[in-house]
């Protein structure tokens, strides 16, 4: 943004009048003794007014002004996008944490279900297929919990990356 503003100033400066002033002086010391030396001085000024390209200059300055505005708009858009990205990563992080909590509760219920089905099978009240189904549900829940923990770690890393930590 700063570079764009400086470029705009440079473009404007190219079409402003330019004034230059200067001074110079010298002293002539003669080779012969007894003669006086001479001092001479000069003042000068120069004024340059660019009148040949006024029309083009106006358009170049407008173009640079638009470029600066586009740069500012892009900067503001990037700030908003970064805010949305931070918000999304925070939401993903919270959702993955909630999923872990839910799956831990589900795993406890699945373990209790396996325990009850094993007791029922040992007492001859249910078939082996029911016990195997309960054990399969427990294993599936454990797998889902492991995936949820992995996704949680990924979301933590993503959040820290997006927030610049």
Q: What is the pLDDT of residues 14-51, one digit of tens each?
A: 777 788 899 999 888 777 677 777 888 889 888 887 77
Burial of 118 (0-12, 13-18, 19+ CB in 10 A): middle
- Domains of the chain in start order, with CATH, are 2-29+38-162 (1.20.1600.10)
Return the ∠ at Cα 93 (arms to 148 and 100), rounded to 5°.
Answer: 30
Q: What is the pLDDT of residues 75-89, one digit of tens each?
A: 899 999 999 999 999
Output the pLDDT for position 26. 85
Predicted TM-score (pTM) above 0.75:
no
State yes or no: pLDDT of 4 exceeds 80. Answer: no
Q: What is the pLDDT of residues 86-139, one digit of tens each?
A: 999 999 999 999 999 999 999 999 999 999 999 998 888 888 899 899 999 999
153-157 contacts, C-beta under 8 A, 24 or more apart: 155/89, 155/92, 155/93, 155/96, 156/93
Q: Tell me which of 161 and 12 has the higher pLDDT.
A: 161
Return the minimum-mean-pLDDT range out of 52-61, 69-78, 91-100, 138-147.
52-61
Residue in the structure block whose two tokens are 């016990």:
131
Return the ∠ at Cα 68 (arms to 66 and 70), rounded to 5°.
Answer: 70
Residue 144 pLDDT class (50, 70, 90 cuts): very high
Output the pLDDT for position 65. 83
């Amino acid at each position: 943004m700063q570079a764009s503003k400086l470029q705009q100033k440079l473009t404007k400066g190219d079409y402003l009048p330019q004034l230059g002033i200067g001074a110079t002086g010298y002293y002539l010391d003669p080779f012969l003794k007894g003669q006086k030396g001479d001092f001479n001085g000069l003042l000068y000024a120069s004024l340059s007014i660019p009148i040949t390209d006024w029309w083009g200059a106006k358009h170049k300055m407008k173009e640079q002004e638009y470029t600066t505005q586009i740069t500012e708009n892009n900067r503001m858009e990037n700030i908003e996008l970064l805010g949305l990205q931070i918000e999304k990563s925070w939401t993903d992080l919270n959702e993955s944490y909630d999923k872990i909590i839910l799956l831990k509760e589900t795993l406890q219920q699945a373990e209790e279900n396996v325990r009850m089905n094993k007791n029922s099978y040992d007492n001859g009240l249910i078939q082996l297929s029911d016990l195997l189904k309960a054990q399969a549900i427990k294993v599936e829940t454990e797998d889902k919990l492991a995936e949820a923990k992995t996704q949680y770690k990924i979301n933590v890393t993503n959040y820290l990356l997006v927030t610049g930590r």
